[in-house]
């Protein structure tokens, strides 16, 4: 459960969510990412570290540049958590529908 909390904490910050959205288009260097924000480069680097530590992105060195990209399975924990609650609520609604149909049939 701790890993899922870390994932949600990682995506809780709007700047980190924006970094993730930028990375949906292509791999980007940390310098390129930093140019998209009114933050210092060290502040952007800290956000990138949080995303990396949460397992959401990969960082590769290419010459002097460090490039970030989305990690293919990085969002699996979030998906599993959301799928659990989707199934939970579908079951609750199905049970409610069954109960209402049962009462409707009894009253006829």
Q: Check whether residue 59 and residue 84 sit in a common domain.
A: no
Query: Which stretches of 1-108 are DSSP H helices?
Result: 2-12, 14-23, 30-34, 41-53, 76-107
- Local confidence band at 19 (pLDDT 50, 70, 90 cut-offs): very high
Q: Check whether residue 47 and residue 91 sit in a common domain.
A: no
Cβ atoms 16, 47 nearer than 8 A: yes
17-21, 67-71, 74-78: which range is least confident on average? Answer: 74-78
Cβ atoms 36, 22 nearer than 8 A: yes
Q: Check whether residue 79 and residue 56 sit in a common domain.
A: no
Q: Check whether residue 66 and residue 85 sit in a common domain.
A: no
Domain of residue 93: give its range: 75-108
Q: Check whether residue 46 and residue 68 sit in a common domain.
A: yes
Number of independent structural domains in the chain: 2
Tell me: the pLDDT tens digits for 26-63?
Answer: 999 999 999 999 999 999 999 999 999 999 999 999 99
pLDDT computed for residue 101 by the predictor: 84
pTM: 0.77
Q: Check whether residue 67 and residue 80 sit in a common domain.
A: no
């Amino acid at each position: 459960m701790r890993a899922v909390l870390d994932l949600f904490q990682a995506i809780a910050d709007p700047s980190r969510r924006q970094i993730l959205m930028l990375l949906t288009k292509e791999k980007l260097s940390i310098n390129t990412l930093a140019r998209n924000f009114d933050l210092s480069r060290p502040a952007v680097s800290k956000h990138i570290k949080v995303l990396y530590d949460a397992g959401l992105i990969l960082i590769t060195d290419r010459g002097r540049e460090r490039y970030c990209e989305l990690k293919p399975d990085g969002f699996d924990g979030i998906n599993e958590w959301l799928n659990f609650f989707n199934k939970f609520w579908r079951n609750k609604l199905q049970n409610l529908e069954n109960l209402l149909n049962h009462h409707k049939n009894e009253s006829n």
